[in-house]
Structure 1
Amino acid sequence: MSTKSLADFDFEAGEVLLLDKPLTWTSFDVVRKVKNALRIRKIGHAGTLDPLATGLLILCTGKKTKQIDQIQAQEKEYTGTFRLGETTPSFDLETAVDLVRPYAHLTTEQLTAAVGQLTGTIQQTPPLFSAVKIEGQRAYEIARQGLAAEIKAKTVEIKAFELTRIALPEVDFRIVCSKGTYIRSLARDLGEALGCGAHLTQLVRTRIGEFRVADAFSLAAIEALRPPRPEGAAPRPERSRPAPNRAGLQYYAARQADTLAAPHQQDPRPDPMAPPPGPGDQ
């Protein structure tokens, strides 16, 4: 945790605030929550995290918003899990599995070779389920209408790509990459290189430049700083945590509901739809 107390921050003048983003929240959800809780007039985030990713989200307030471009241009580090042998249209758990292929024949040598193909400077095509703009419209808006669109490949740098656990069909990873890299696209590309398909089931952003999730604050800590309302003012109705389907996660939410409705059912395989623990729980 940061050695600087939240109580010492001057958000109106300008601060760089490290937050540990909760699962299913959009980056915009977090910005709005912090802005409303602390009544900050000027605030933005330096680098979007997908709703099904957790970890480091950097907020800049006041005059420090001028540093947003500089911060989000720095290299990123991620850890997480790919599931081999299954693909989804979104390359993660937002959408249902659409193809199943054999994976049990894969060897450590084959996995290592495929990772090597995806290390260094590569051409990567972002997912259709992403915030990339296509003729003025966000790609995910097109995707959620069931429509197709062409997204151009771009150059990214994968500075480090290592598998930290191999337990087929799952593999854990650590990736250090340049700005603009989509880890979901790396899941797709790894699956294609192995000939079995793959998708992302867990993602934690652990670092942006020298900023680390280990130094990040929780949203609960931010909420604790909420200023008292003026005397005599009627309290605002408290809003509940954003529902997953606000982020287009209807499939994910439905699977979670099914899991909660049948807790007595035991599946011998790890459930890829189970929510990954937040970085603070790992």
Structure 2
Amino acid sequence: MILNVYKDWGWSSFDVVKKLKSTGQYKKIGHAGTLDPLAEGVLLILTDSDTKKQPELMALTKEYLVDVLLGYTSPSYDLGTEVSKTDQVRQVTITDVENALPSYIGNINQRPPLFSAKHIRGTRAYKLARSNAFSGLSLNISKVTIYDITACSFLENVSISYTYSGEDRQLQGALAKLKVVCGKGTYIRALARDIGEDLHCGGVVTKLVRTKIGEYALENSLKLEELIEQARN
């Protein structure tokens, strides 16, 4: 069975698998493509004989909606680590953003974030990053494919609240909402980082939603609670 699950913010992909496995209804269970804990949206859960379909499902085209706050940066390129204001030299406009996007369409080189599930010398990169053991280390550049990227909206002055180390903080700046259609292995956080660097202002992801994997769409996804109830009845 292939389950189109809506993964909520704050859950890891493994958390979802573990929760469904606890129902005892599936002999085998896994997922087809990790979704960051601070992201939400479509997560494909594979059960029993359909776990064999993981490679073909992971190769499907993916679609995301991402909010990028300009003028800031962080080690993880999102709100999961401490966010710092950059030395922005001028006010970025919607025209600047739209002019920067076409250069990312096609086969591009991308360096994955250190806060990721990639391996460095046999250890998950995010574990090294969290322990500050990544000094002098970096991940190899990957070739990824962006099929389309468009600016859906642009707000010049937005306030964003987030919590870091138990402290409530406030960020304020221009916010670009982008729609990205991409292939396997693309890191949207790294894309936000690169766009921010090209605009000479920095950029962090404040919201990330995966809206589609192949033909599996957000509007047809089911909440985890619904699936657990169905499995137990």
Partner of 1:96: 82
Task: Return the match for 1:113 from 99, 108, 117.
Answer: 99
Contact 1:85/1:103 (8 A) holds in 2: no
TM-score of the superposed pair, with normalisation by structure 1: 0.73
Partner of 1:122: 108
Contact 1:89/1:98 (8 A) holds in 2: no
Task: Return the match for 2:4 from 4, 18, 26.
Answer: 18
Matching of residue 152 in structure 1 with residue 152 in structure 2 = no
Aligned pairs for 1:118-197 (under 5 A) are: 118-148=104-134, 149-168=137-156, 169-197=174-202
Amino acid corresponding to residue 165 of structure 1 in structure 2: S
Structure 1: runs of 5 or more not aligned: 1-14, 229-282
Q: Secondary structure at the match of 2:27?
A: coil
Amino acid corresponding to residue 93 of structure 1 in structure 2: L
Partner of 1:59: 45
Q: Which has the higher strand share?
A: 2
Superposed displacement of residue 102, structure 1: 2.6
Q: Secondary structure at the match of 2:204?
A: strand
Contact 1:45/1:68 (8 A) holds in 2: yes
Any idea what the Cα deviations from partners look like across 1:171-215, whole Å, max 9, x if unmatched?
A: 101000010000000010000000000011100101111111111
**Pairwise CA RMSD of aligned residues?**
1.3
Bigger radius of gyration, 1 or 2? 1
Superposed displacement of residue 38, structure 1: 4.5
Partner of 2:216: 211
Percent identity of paired positions between Structure 1 and Structure 2: 40
Partner of 1:12: none
Name the CA distance, whole Å, in 2 between partners of 1:220 and 1:213: 16
Q: Secondary structure at the match of 2:22?
A: helix
Q: Secondary structure at the match of 1:59?
A: strand
Structure 2: runs of 5 or more not aligned: 157-173
Q: Higher RCO, 1 or 2 (CA under 8 Å, sep at least 6)?
A: 2
Name the CA distance, whole Å, in 1 between partners of 2:111 and 2:71: 21
Superposed displacement of residue 163, structure 1: 0.6
Superposed displacement of residue 135, structure 1: 1.1
Name the CA distance, whole Å, in 2 between partners of 1:103 and 1:19: 42
TM-score of the superposed pair, with normalisation by structure 2: 0.88
